[in-house]
Chains A and B, each alone.
Chain A
Amino acid sequence: METIQQVKIVERTTEDYKSDTKPTWCPGCGDFGVLNAVYSSLQMKGKDPKDIVAVSGIGCSSRLPFFMSSYGFHSVHGRAMPVSTGIKVGNPNLELVAFGGDGDGFAIGAGHFVHAARRNLNICYVIMDNNIYGLTKGQASPTSDVGFVTKTTPRGSQDVPLNPLMLALSMGATYVARAFSGKPKELADMILKGMEHPGFAVIDVFSPCPTFNKVNTFKYYRDEAIDLPSDHDNTNYFQALERAANHDPYYLGVIYENKDKPSFEDHVFAKVATELQTPEQVLTDLFKKFS
């Protein structure tokens, strides 16, 4: 049921969204850029930290919720999407931003990603994609290039890299974007829009790991990633798929946006009865049925 809520405009600064915990990342980590963009986007949205939940899986980037002053849920590897789903149907009025890396989200988490997108879950999911497993010290991930050499792939990774944007698009995500942590202002705008988007918003952020990935560096992405051309129509699904498929260059920006699809929460709460009964009333009816 809709109620008119009195919204009190409180001026907040980026400081209001920082926790007192020092980030645990290596100096030069791409995730710092993402973190600053997150603080900026939250400041622009202006929501009270108590009404925000940051959800993550496991990995370097999944530590992000600890660095925010909001509520947080640092879950287990690959499971940020189910936990986020439970949170949103537990309290759909919370602002939920999910965080994780390419390993967490697209290896062990790939299945759940598919279903979160299919459901059009109303969250903003920011993936810090460094094409490697950082926290476990440098193994190939699902987004690593073919030929990427690591200790578990000494002859070079051979699997076709997973394309997060194409996966998101083909599974029904309604806001699909790509960003670069070296361009935090653009990223902050995308996260803000993603939070405001009434459905599943995915932002794949190139966020280089300076410690373990010597290939997909800041320089690499500055050279390889360019903004979407100005004629890009991000309401055109097939154009979006085509641009998402491109990796020479990678396109940055909001590749696809569709605000017209109802979200998972819309469907779920449409099923809830308009005239609520107490459990006792429901049980009394059931007992009659069984007598």
Chain B
Amino acid sequence: MVAIAERPTEEQTLESRHSIIIRFGGESGEGVKSTGELLTQVAARAGFEVLTFQTYPAEIKGGHSIYQVRLSSEQLYTEGDRLDVLLAFNQEGYDKSYEELSADGLLLFDEGNVTDFHYPQQGKRHVALPLTRLAKEELKFELGKNVVGVGMLSGLFGFDVEPINRLITEKFTRKGEDVVAKNKKAFEVGYRYIEEIFPDRVNYHIQTPTTQRADTIIVGGNQNLSMGALAGRCTHIFGYPITPASDILEFLAAELPKVGGVAIQAEDEIASMGMVLGASYTGRRAMTCTSGPGLSLMVEMLGLSGMAELPAVIVNVQRAGPSTGMPTKHEQGDLNMAVYAGHGEVPRIVLAPVSVDDCFWRAIDAFNLAEAYQVPVILLSDTVLAVRTESITRPDLSKIKIVPRLTFDPQDSLNGKNGETLNPNQNANTDVSATGNASESGSIDNSATGGTPGATPEVIANIAGSELGQAANMQNDAKKVNDGEGDEVDLEIAARRGYELYQRYAITENGVSPMSIPGQAGGQYTSTGLEHNEFSRPRYDVASHTKMTDKRARKLAAAVKEAPAPYRVGDPTAEIGVLTWGSTAGVAHEAMDMAAKLGIKVDVIAPRMIWPIPTAQLDDFIASKRVVIIPECNYAGQFANLLNTHYRRDFVRINVYGGAPIRSSEILAEIQKANDQH
């Protein structure tokens, strides 16, 4: 157990730090990530909020990578702006990140590995750390270099050692007692070294949080999204590896089999979506995950999903485009594609989580909306969320609500109800986000019959010939079945049938028709991308296409009423509003906090449903604010343009499109400008 100085009092701390940002920079594969991850865990155990940011080189081996950890006693929303501490493992670590170090920042570097200090130093402090020397010579444990580093930083930031020692035990216990001891010693050596060389280390101590978060987990956006899919009762994932979405396929490949589910790596993205639609057709809650280039390939299938009304969830973890673009860089460039892609008019829903925590709940929403409205749902995440890890409160599983698909009950057809008289709100919920009842079991029923009670083939055959059947068959008389231009019905055969009572695309008030599942007697139909009538027979006439287009659009009008509540923070009475989407919402939140400290009131809103546009959530905001600022990480202002198709007002646009996330200082600058104009 290391003897440490007493914790600094309020007077001793020159500047009460609430947060500190430390970045590790070095050669990919040389410990940048493992050191960063260990420090993140250590900090979380010490009771701090953590939020990380990483970049990777596009190549497999070598190249520069950074791992940034922001620690705070308060809730965090972004990875921060200027760095407080930069730990450079090599020269490139210095070269690439030094300029982002704040004016009074601290440069730590592995002694001997950084020799060329070519930037002006100004007020920045340089301290050499003998990481390699201590690990190799004193400890005879070269691999322990990272733990020595973390020990040093823990000493610098004033972490409590006890929880860290427990963490070290937990992490290495399965490798044996001596490994645990070795790592504890390495930590101690680092910690003590800082005590010796840094008498004024209290400057870097972070205030302990006044309220500790209960039930913390440290998780990344992709992982949390994957867990949300599990929670949303996903049982089938079909995907193709692509940066930065592969994690999701890999995560669910490991977890889905535990609930009886299936994960398949397809031969390409087109096949992935084809498989999703096939599984969906059999009643499964199915998804795929991809990035921009993959979504481009899936566009035709998106159209089929919309036309045939097959539920599907497509996760698009956006990266910088166009084309191959920058696979590991951030951009919010796929909004246009998500909303508009597809020849003709394809109904779809687009959701965008605003944070790592949100990834879990919006994944559940995606499945619920897809199933309830029988549409494709595109869930737009992005590189920042995908790779960021953050301490969040463990999701409350009792808040999960599952919305099932409206399925066909053969009894309804026999009673002459082809969906027209069904309660249009049956099974739909007004709140698809996290509230409500305990969830149902997720096990899979592999029987061919689909488990729907009611009519057996014999019953249907009997009833078809009966009075009831004849009456029902009257609906299928010549005028009705040979309505419009298209496939012609053989009336003689039609007269004998009972099962053609089922209308797959029955016209209903909210546009949603009960869907049969293969295996259900009496529910047979051929799903198609051709325009069709209620019985899914190909139809090419004006009345059919008009009617069906209306029906498909009507579903979206119903779905938008169930849009998850928007992310809303700040002062609702403020004249200055910031309106954004996706991970930029966190940046806007931080900018709002910074503005508040300057006495400027700001109202921030970020809708979680992008399409259909949740106008009920935005009307007042857009109408009443004197200034509406729309920051987004794309060139054209895709979200602003989308809103302008509905709202006639000018927005103050902030467009950042270099591949790095937008900074809160950039949003703050526009807020100040707007404030000055008053």
* Residues in chain A within 8 A of chain B (CB atoms): 10, 15, 18-22, 24, 48-51, 53-55, 65-66, 68-76, 79, 81-94, 111-112, 114-115, 268-269, 271-273, 276-280, 282-284, 286-287, 290-291
Interface pair B439/A87, CB less than 8 Å apart: no
- Determine whether the beta carbon of A83 is less than 8 Å from that of B519: no
Knowing A91-B282, A291-B394, say if A66 contacts B258 (CB, 8 Å). Answer: no
In contact, A93 and B448 (Cβ under 8 angstroms): yes
By a CB distance below 8 angstroms, the chain A residues around B527 are: 72-74
Give the shortest distance, in Å, between A86 (CB) and chain B (any CB).
Answer: 2
- B182: shortest Cβ distance to chain A, in Å? 24
Most buried by A among B219, B282, B283, B516: B282
Q: Does B236 contact A (CB under 8 A)?
A: yes
CB distance B537 to A278 under 8 Å? no
The 6 A-B pairs at the shortest CB distance, nearest first, are namely A86-B278, A82-B274, A72-B526, A90-B282, A86-B275, A90-B279
Query: Which of the 9-residue segments B9-17, B132-140, B263-271, B569-577 touches chain A?
Result: B263-271
Contacts A86-B238, A86-B274: A283 and B282 contacting too (C-beta < 8 A)? no
Q: Which of B258, B264, B441, B491 is close to A273, meaning CB atoms less than 8 Å apart? A: B258
Stretch from B241-249, B328-336, B493-501, B621-629 that touches the partner: B493-501
What's the nearest-Cβ distance from chain A to residue B43, in Å?
A: 14
- A3 — nearest CB in chain B belongs to which residue? B447
Q: Is B261's CB within 8 Å of the partner chain A?
A: yes
Also in contact, A276 and B258, with CB within 8 A (given A85-B278, A86-B277): yes
- How far apart sit A115 and B271, CA to CA, in the bound complex (Å)? 10
A112 touches B489 (CB 8 A): no
Q: Which residues of B contact A271 (CB under 8 A)?
A: 257, 262
Q: Is B163 an interface residue (CB 8 A)?
A: no
Mark contacts of B491-511 with chain A using CB atoms, 8 A cut-off: 1 yes-contact digit, 0 otherwise: 101100101100000000000
Q: With A83-B278, A276-B258 given, is the CB distance from A91 to B217 under 8 Å?
A: no
B31 to chain A, nearest CB (A): 22
Which of A10, A22, A69, A91 has a CB less than 8 Å from the CB of B518?
Answer: A91
- The distance in angstroms between the C-alpha atoms of A88 and B279, with both chains bound, is 8
Q: Are A282 and B255 in contact (CB under 8 A)?
A: yes
**B525 lies within 8 A of chain A by Cβ:** yes
**When chains A and B are docked, how far (Å) is the Cα of A50 from the Cα of B284?**
17
21 contacts across the A-B interface (CB closer than 8 A): A50-B457, A72-B525, A75-B529, A79-B274, A82-B266, A82-B270, A82-B275, A84-B278, A86-B275, A87-B282, A90-B280, A94-B448, A114-B267, A115-B267, A272-B260, A276-B260, A278-B259, A279-B439, A280-B439, A282-B258, A287-B394
How distant is the Cα of A55 from the Cα of B301 in the complex, in angstroms? 15
| CB <8 Å contact, B529 and A54 | no
Given known contacts A66-B537, A76-B304, is B524 in contact with A49 (CB within 8 Å)?
Answer: yes
Q: Are B271 and A82 in contact, with the CB atoms below 8 A?
A: yes
Interchain nearest-CB distance for A140 vs B (Å): 23
Contact at B274–A83, with CB atoms within 8 Å? yes
Interface status of B177 (Cβ within 8 A of chain A): no
With beta carbons under 8 angstroms apart, the residue of B275, B489, B526 that contacts A65 is B526
Q: Which of B257, B439, B526 contacts A71 (CB 8 A)?
A: B526
A262 to chain B, nearest CB (A): 16
The chain B residue sitting closest to A62, CB to CB, is B528
Which residues of chain A are within 8 angstroms of B215 by Cβ–Cβ distance?
A: 291
Considering only CB atoms, which chain B residue lies closest to A89 in the complex? B262
SS class, residues of chain B in contact with chain A: mixed
Set of chain A residues within 8 Å of B530, measured between Cβ atoms? 74
**Alpha-carbon separation in the docked complex, A48 to B395 (Å):** 45
Tell me, yes or no, whether B216 is within 8 Å of chain A by CB: yes
Task: Please name all residues of chain B whose beta carbon is closer than 8 Å to the beta carbon of A278 when the two chains form the complex.
Answer: 259, 441-443
List B contacts of A54 (CB < 8 A). Answer: 526
Q: Say if the beta carbon of B477 comes within 8 Å of chain A.
A: no
How long is the Cα–Cα vector from A71 to B262 in the complex, in angstroms?
A: 23
Give B contacts to A, CB under 8 Å: 215-219, 223, 227, 230-231, 233, 236, 238, 255, 257-262, 264, 266-268, 270-284, 286, 300-301, 304, 394-395, 397, 439, 441-444, 446-449, 457, 481, 487-491, 493-494, 497, 499-500, 516, 518-530, 537-538
Q: Is the CB of B278 within 8 A of A74?
A: no
Interchain CB contact under 8 A, A21 and B261: no
Hey, which chain B residues are within 8 Å of A70, CB to CB? 524
- Check A50 against B520 for contact (C-beta < 8 Å): yes
Please tell me which one of the listed residues A66, A68, A84, A91 contacts residue B519 in the complex, with CB atoms under 8 A apart.
A91
Query: What residues of B have a CB within 8 angstroms of the CB of A21 in the complex?
Result: 487-490, 537
Apart from A65-B526, A75-B277, 8 more pairs, CB < 8 Å: A22-B487, A50-B457, A72-B524, A74-B528, A86-B277, A112-B274, A115-B271, A279-B231
Cβ contact of B284, chosen from A69, A90, A280, A282, cutoff 8 A: A90
CA distance A272 to B529 in the complex (A): 33
**Residues of chain B within 8 A of A74, CB atoms compared:** 526-530
**Given A22, A51, A269, A290, which contacts B448 in the complex, CB threshold below 8 Å?**
A51
- Report the minimal beta-carbon distance from A33 to chain B, rounded to whole angstroms: 19
Closest CB in chain B relative to A136 CB, distance in Å: 15
* Whole-angstrom CA separation of A87 from B276 in the bound complex: 9
Q: Which residues of A sit under 8 angstroms from B216, Cβ to Cβ?
A: 291
**Residues in B whose Cβ lies below 8 Å from that of A69:** 499, 524
Do A86 and B281 touch (CB < 8 A)?
Answer: yes
A66 to B497, CA, bound (A): 15
Complex CA–CA separation, A183 to B300 (angstroms): 37
Q: Chain A's nearest CB lies how many Å from the CB of B440?
A: 9
Give the residue of A72, A75, A273, A286 whose beta carbon is less than 8 angstroms from that of B304: A75
Docked complex Cα distance between A66 and B539 (Å): 13
The answer to whether B271 and A282 have CB atoms under 8 Å apart is no
A290's partner among B219, B268, B519 (CB-CB below 8 A) is B219
Alpha-carbon separation in the docked complex, A160 to B647 (Å): 58
Residue in B closest to A23 when the chains form the complex, CB atoms: B487
Q: Report chain B residues within 8 Å CB of A20.
A: 481, 489-491, 493-494, 497, 500
Q: What CA separation (Å) do A22 and B530 show in the bound complex?
A: 17
Could you tell me if A90 and B300 are in contact, using CB atoms closer than 8 angstroms? Answer: no
Q: Tell me, rounded to whole Å, the shortest Cβ–Cβ distance linking B330 to chain A.
A: 23
- Chain B contacts for A276, CB-based, 8 A: 258-260, 443-444
Q: Tell me whether A91 and B446 are in contact (CB under 8 A).
A: yes
Instruction: Point out which of A20, A54, A93, A290 has the most chain B C-beta atoms below 10 A from its C-beta.
Output: A20
Residue among A22, A83, A277 with most chain B CB within 10 A: A83
Q: Which residues of B contact A93 (CB under 8 A)?
A: 446-448, 519
Q: Once the chains bind, are B447 and A87 in contact (CB under 8 Å)?
A: no
Given contacts A22-B490, A280-B397, contact A89 B264 (CB under 8 A): yes
**Which residues on the B side are within 8 Å of A66 (C-beta)?**
487, 526, 528, 537-538
Tell me the complex Cα distance, A92–B446, Å: 7
Residue of A65, A71, A283 touching B230 (CB-CB under 8 A) = A283
Q: Name the residue of chain B whose CB is nearest to the CB of A264.
A: B264
Question: In the bound complex, what is the Cα–Cα distance between A50 and B410 (angstroms)?
Answer: 12
Residues of chain B lying within 8 A (CB to CB) of residue A284: 397
Which residues of chain B are within 8 angstroms of A48 by Cβ–Cβ distance?
457, 521
CB distance from A73 to the nearest CB of B (A): 5
A225 to B275, CA, bound (A): 36
B487 touches A272 (CB 8 A): no
A85 to B447, CA, bound (A): 17
Residue of B with least CB distance to A91: B282
* Cα–Cα, bound, A89→B326 (Å): 35
Residues of A within 8 A of B395 (CB): 283, 287
**A49 proximity list for chain B (CB < 8 A):** 524
* Interfacial chain B residues near A112, Cβ < 8 Å: 267, 271, 274
Asked if A87 contacts B281 (CB within 8 A), the reply is yes
Q: Is the CB of B257 within 8 A of A272?
A: yes
Find out whether the CB atom of B497 lies under 8 angstroms from the CB atom of A277: no
- A85 lies within 8 A of B264 (CB): yes
Closest CB of chain A to B174's CB: distance in Å?
14
CB-CB under 8 A from A71, the residues of chain B are 516, 518, 523-526
B451 nearest CB across to chain A (Å): 11
Bound form: Cα–Cα A290–B282 in Å = 34
B275, B487, B525: which contacts A85 (Cβ < 8 A)? B275
A288 to chain B, nearest CB (A): 9
Contacts of A73 in B (CB 8 A): 278, 281, 526-528
